[in-house]
Amino acid sequence: MKLLIDISDNKAAGFLELIKNYSYVKAKPISVSDAELFEEINEIKKAFKNVEKIKQGKLKGRPAEELLNEL
């Protein structure tokens, strides 16, 4: 299982030391830009799932014009 955990910078070193004591846990920090990219990919994935739900009639869509008018 893979987890993404967001920890404040001042607590991260201590947390990494703690989990390194477990032989079954592998941890490595990722850059801020990689974390942001990961979040964007998750948002895109969620949007595609919502499109599928709209096509199946489980969610109600709305016209793009309505969305643009809100902006």
> How does pLDDT run across 4-58, given as a tens digit for each residue?
888 898 998 899 889 989 999 988 888 889 989 999 999 999 988 888 888 888 8
Q: Which residues of 5-31 are buried (b: 16+ CB within 10 A; e: fewer)?
A: eeeeeeeeeeeeeeeeeeeeeeeeeee
Please report whether residue 23 resides in a domain: no
Contacts of residue 50, defined as CB under 8 A and 6 or more positions apart, other chains included, come to 59
CB 38 within 8 A of CB 4: yes
- If one counts the domains in the chain, the total is 1
In a domain, 46, yes or no: yes
Give the pLDDT confidence score for residue 41 in this predicted structure: 94
The residue range of the domain holding 40 is 30-71
CB distance 20 to 27 below 8 Å: yes
In a domain, 39, yes or no: yes
Asked whether residue 5 is domain-assigned, the answer is no
| 13, amino acid identity | A
In a domain, 22, yes or no: no
In a domain, 51, yes or no: yes
Flag whether 44 is in a domain: yes
pLDDT of residue 34: 92
